[in-house]
Structures are given as C-alpha cells and as structure tokens.
A and B are shown apart, each in its own frame.
Chain A
Amino acid sequence: MGQLLIGLINGAFYAMLSLGLAVIFGLLNIINFAHGAQYMLGAFVAYFALQWAGLGYWWSLLLAPIAVGLFGIVLERTMLKRLYHLDHLYGLLLTFGIALIVQGVFRHEYGSSGLPYGIPSQLSGGYNLGFMFLPTYRAWVIVFSLAVCLATWYVIERTRLGSSLRAATENPALVQAFGINVPRMITLTYGFGVALAALAGVLAAPIYQVNPLMGADLIIVVFAVVVIGGLGSIMGSIVTGFALGVVEGFTKFFYPEASNTVIFVIMAVVLLVRPSGLFGRSTRAR
C-alpha cells in the first residue's frame, strides 16, 4: 500500500515530464531531448531565486516556468524553427546538443553533488497514515501535478484553442488561411511544453538535490515512458507516467536490483507488441 503511493508520487514526475514531451512532439513534431536540461534549469531558477532575490518556493513555482519557458521560446525562434521541414533526427540532435551544453556549463560551475533546497515550511512535516508516513510535500506533489496534467489535457483535447492547435499540426496552410498565426502558436506551444518541464523541476528541487545532472538521469526514463504511452498521445503519457511510477515502485520492493531496468524491459515488450505505444494512434503516418 505504501509502495503504491510512493510509486504514484514518482509517477507524478514522469507524467509531468512526459506530458511536456508529448505536447511538443504531438504539436511540433520535434523530439525535445533538451527536456531534461530544461527540468534541471527549472530547479536552478528556484535555487537562484532563493539565493539572490530571497524569493521562496511559491514564487518559484510561478517564476521558473516563465523564465525557462522564455528560454525555450528563444530557442525555438532562433534555432528549432529552421528544422521543422527536416527529418526528426535533426531536431533530436540539436536539442541533445543544447542539453549537453547546458548541463556541462552548470556542472562546471556548480559541481556534481548538488545544492541544498529546503521544503517550504507550509508543506513540511507529514501525516501518519497507519501503514506509512506520508510527507506533506509528497502529497502536494501528487495533487498538484495531477491537476496540471488534467488541465493540460483538457485545454488541448477539449477547448477551441486546443482544436486549432491540433488542426495546425495536421494542415498548417489551411489553418493559416483561417487567419490564425501558426508560427506564433507553435512557438508558444514549445514555450508551454518547456515550462511544464521547469515546473516539474521546481517540484523536484525540495526532494532531490538541485543538481546539474538531475535531468540527465531522468530524461531517458521519461523517453521510455513516452514511447510506451505512444508518442504524441497526451492522455497516454499521463496514464503511463503514473502507471510506470507504480510498476517501478513495486520493483523496488520485490527486486530492487532491477528497478533501473524494469521500465526499459516494459518498453521493449511494448514496442514488440504494439509498436505505436499503448495509446498511440497507429494510423497516423508520420
């Protein structure tokens, strides 16, 4: 029971990160390998805000996504937009390169052991649930990220804005003809996806160290989650994120030695059985 809850908490991080990736891939057709670095940047913005400006956790929840989202928008405007007509591979290589550069710079400046970041006082402590001790902060993570995930899903799948976004990816020329500024919409979407990563970074800062490598450690797992869920599927990435967190949590209990590999084993199996992922639309030719 306790392990189930722990799994859900870790799943919340996977879900938020894979959601951002799914949004970016689904709407921009870019495989954003810089996602881990942007997650790390989010945590660092929170750290800097506290160190330099004395702004606490709550401000960071707002500031970090905006700051890192802007960084993403600059990236998209100056570099990524040149790659849309090329193969996926180019976008992947570019973002991967950016990730390596950003991580390298931060590692050089701040070392590899990470920097301390405390839990906000309103959320410290915890509840004794009888079967386990649940830290308040972890409960907050799960509620908050679930809310963010569902809101994102709702906006993209159920609102007018979302439908024009989806339409723009299917047929940009036609949507443009209806008077919608497609390039601007794509830029903002990328910024939003990146902001989601930064938000996850702020959520993670009090749990893990604020560490230049935190994204690199996580991004591969998150990609596996996206592949299992089906590239580009919004709901798929949310559900698989939480589900795989739970699977990993149970592995840590029953056979901890395999806890790093279990997700990749599942990925291999899913790819063999359903190459387009559990929630992927196999008819979509890309």
Chain B
Amino acid sequence: MKVLGIAILVAALAVAAVPVHAQVSDGVIKIGVLNDQSSLYADLAGQGSVVAARMAVEDFGADKKGMKVEIVSADHQNKPDVGSSIARQWLDVDKVDVIVDVPNSGVALALNQIVREKGKALLISGAATADLTGKACSPNTIHWTYDTWALANGTGNAIVKTGGDTWFFLTADYAFGHALERDTEAVVVKAGGKVLGKVRHPLNTQDFSSFLLQAQASKAKIIGLANAGGDTTNAIKQAAEFGVVKGGQNLAGLLVFITDVHALGLDKAQGLIMTETFYWDMNDKARAFAKKFAERDRQIHPTMIHAGVYSATLHYLKAVEALKSDDGTKVIAKMKEMPTDDPLFGKGTIRADGRKVHPAYLFEVKKPSESKGPWDYYKLRSTIPAEQAFRPIDQGDCPLVKK
C-alpha cells in the first residue's frame, strides 16, 4: 500500500508534460490463473494453463526487463459462486492484476461482471460462450482463443454442407451448452437444415445411454454434442457401444480438444470433425512450444486453450510494458490498440468488442493407420480465414461497438 501511495504521490507531483511514470501497482504484476483443476475440464485447461502462463512470462523475458511478475492459480470447481469468491479475494486482497483462462462459461460470465466493477483485466481462453463479446461484452475483458459462434460456424457449416441436414442436440445444461446449441442451431437452420430435437443433460454426466436412445429415436442424421471434456468423451464412447454410427447416424463433436481425442483413442475418435484455432503440429514454432510444454505437463500436448493462455499472457505483458502501468482498463485498451504477434497464433488483432481475431481450422481426426504415434491425431481439412472465423462485430449486440 505504501509503495502504491508513493507512486500516486509521485505521479501527482510530476504534473503533465512528463510521460507516465512507472505505475505498476505495488511493483509486481500478478497474474491469476483460474480454472477447473480437479474435474472434467482439468486436462484441457487445469495446471497446463498455469504452465502456459509461466512459459509466456519466461519467453517475454520479464526478469531481464526488470519487471516482477508473479503467477497464482486456483480451482473454481466449475462453480460460479466459488469462482466469484476466489476472484474477489484475489482482486481485493491479494492484488492480482489480471485473471486468465477461466473455462466454464458460467464462471466466466460471473467474473466478467466482477472484473469490470473493479477495473481489472480478464483474459478468457477456456470459456466458450460468444456472449462474452456479445451482449455481455466489457471494456475489461478480452475473449482470446475461440467461441461458440466460431465452433458452430466451422463445424456446423461443414457438416450441413456434406449432407447432415437434420440434427438432434445433446447439450450440457449451463451457459456454455446453451450458447453452443443456440449458435449451431442458427447455422444449421440458415443452411437449410432442421433441428428435430434436443435434450439437456447435467454437467459432468457419466451415463449417456438414456440420452442416446432418445437421439436414436429422433432419426436425425446428426447428433450434435454441445458439451465438452469428459462429457464429450463419455458420449462418444457410449454412442459407439449403442451402434449409433452403424445405425446410419453421425456424431458431431462441436467442441473437442486434443486431450479428449487422446483419452478416447483413435479407434473411437477417428473421422470426427472439429473446429480449433490451434494444433501443436501445425508449424515449427508450435511444435517447439508443444515440446517444451509437454515436458512440463505430464507429456500432455497443449490444447488450444493452453496456447491461448500463452498468447494472451504474452500480449498482456507487452501492453503493460508499453503503457508502463497495470491499470486493468487501460491495459485492455492498449491491448486492443496494439496488433498481436506471437509464435502460436501469428499476427492478429483485437476488436473493440474484445474479440481476438485469428484464423480457425477445420480438422479431422486421423485413422489409427494414419497416425505416427501418440498425439499425432489431426489432419487439416480447411482453413477459415480470420475475417470469416468469428461473428461479424456488428451482429453481436455489444454495447461497446458504436453503430
């Protein structure tokens, strides 16, 4: 507090003319990684996101630049109330300047509000709901890696185009599933398809047989899985057991991560089509990152969420350096102003509504015979250029965007 007081005093005395003085609060930039560390989303984000943030701090060279950066992390257990109270503690007492990752759209939406009230910064990589840059958009939030609109647009479109025009949704019953179902349904209907039914299952469901039976009875050509992590892997595994594909229906995993494919094994996952914004085997820089990452996270190869945490943290530190301040609202504004450039996503931009923009990729899971070994799982079907990958800025109803 004392240091902060002195800093403010100095800044006040130094009146205009002089460029902004060092205003990093209490001399430390504190990054809080908040995500699911113990349950169904722990492999696709979890400790891996902490590793990714740490790598970003190292690659940024904070030490050499004389910037003191600290990383803290916590488990929100997929509960918005738990996540909110950790965030309040972090922002009010522990002087955390920026919160990153936050998978689980329910928690992310709750934090979006809190961080805005407190004028801090929120960098979302794990959460999916496109509302974060839509009606819930905030001057303190950047949505980095992907969103439900992008997934629907990529995977949904590709499947309708190849003849999958009748759908049945298995939807995780919370903010994320609802958003993904809504956005995919819009794509399907727009492309001339029809939604024959949907069923909402509780988050973290073990047994999908009852829901699969309903999906089979609907006779829809495509069973869309609007869920993630362990829910998706269980649904896919049990769909194979119940002969869904043999019965002439196909599965569409609307959000599938490489860790899910690894858990399923290629014989169960082969042929799945999915949209992602990062794959570790895309280019040399991504491979180098993946190699270092895997050594530090139980050989798990980075998901796009991990890559997003790395990239967002790196850009955040660059903005703090340029601004010489860690004031949340100002840093987010600076981040939007500066073009982004990092080894994993290449060059990109951040829009006024907080949407980070980069290309998305449509991948297909390899057959076991095509794979050279563990983690060699995807082949590229097509690239969706950055300007088409995300919802056009004027269609999101974000109050920050001037009409």
Count of interface residues, chain A, beta-carbon cutoff 8 Å: 37
* Nearest-Cβ distance from residue B75 to partner chain A, whole angstroms: 11
Q: How far is the CA of A256 from the CA of B227 in the complex (A)?
A: 15
Q: How far is the CA of A133 from the CA of B215 in the complex (A)?
A: 12
Q: Which of B39-47, B113-121, B273-281, B309-317 contacts A (4 or more CB under 8 A)?
A: B39-47
If A112-B230, A114-B263, A135-B243 touch, whether A256 touches B211 (CB-CB below 8 Å) is yes
Contact present for B298 and A111 (CB under 8 Å): yes
A41 within 8 Å of B (CB atoms): no
Contact present for B214 and A253 (CB under 8 Å): yes
- Scan B46-61; emit 1 where CB is below 8 A from any A CB, else 0: 1000000000000000
Interface residues of A in 132-156 (CB under 8 A from B): 132-133, 135, 137-138
Q: How far is the CA of A256 from the CA of B86 in the complex (A)?
A: 31
Contact present for A249 and B210 (CB under 8 Å): yes
Q: Which of B46, B200, B300 contacts A256 (CB 8 A)?
A: B200
- Scan A92-128; emit 1 where CB is below 8 A from any B CB, else 0: 0000000000000001010111111011000000100
B270 within 8 Å of A (CB atoms): no
* Nearest-Cβ distance from residue A149 to partner chain B, whole angstroms: 19
B238 within 8 Å of A (CB atoms): yes
Q: How far is the CA of A133 from the CA of B205 in the complex (A)?
A: 21
A259 within 8 Å of B (CB atoms): yes
Contact present for A6 and B210 (CB under 8 Å): yes
* Nearest-Cβ distance from residue B119 to partner chain A, whole angstroms: 34
Q: Which of B200, B202, B213, B243 contacts A3 (CB 8 A)?
A: B213
Shortest Cβ distance from A109 into B: residue: B298
Contact present for B210 and A252 (CB under 8 Å): yes
Chain B residues with CB under 8 A of A112: 38-43, 46, 230
* Nearest-Cβ distance from residue A265 to partner chain B, whole angstroms: 14
Q: How far is the CA of A6 from the CA of B199 in the complex (A)?
A: 17
- Scan B175-207; emit 1 where CB is below 8 A from any A CB, else 0: 000000000000000000000000111101111
Contact present for B233 and A207 (CB under 8 Å): no
Interface residues of A in 183-204 (CB under 8 A from B): none
Q: How far is the CA of A107 from the CA of B237 in the complex (A)?
A: 21
B11 within 8 Å of A (CB atoms): no
Chain B residues with CB under 8 A of A138: 209, 241
Contact present for A126 and B243 (CB under 8 Å): yes
Chain A residues with CB under 8 A of B207: 10, 207-208
Contact present for B43 and A9 (CB under 8 Å): no
Q: Which of A107, A113, A260 contacts B260 (CB 8 A)?
A: A113
* Residue of A9, A126, A138, A213 contacting most chain B CB atoms (<10 Å): A213
Contact present for B206 and A6 (CB under 8 Å): no
Chain A residues with CB under 8 A of B241: 119, 126, 135, 137-138, 207
Q: A116-B264, A126-B242, A256-B199 are in contact. List 7 more A-B contacts (CB 8 A).
A: A2-B213, A113-B259, A113-B262, A118-B267, A207-B207, A256-B210, A260-B202
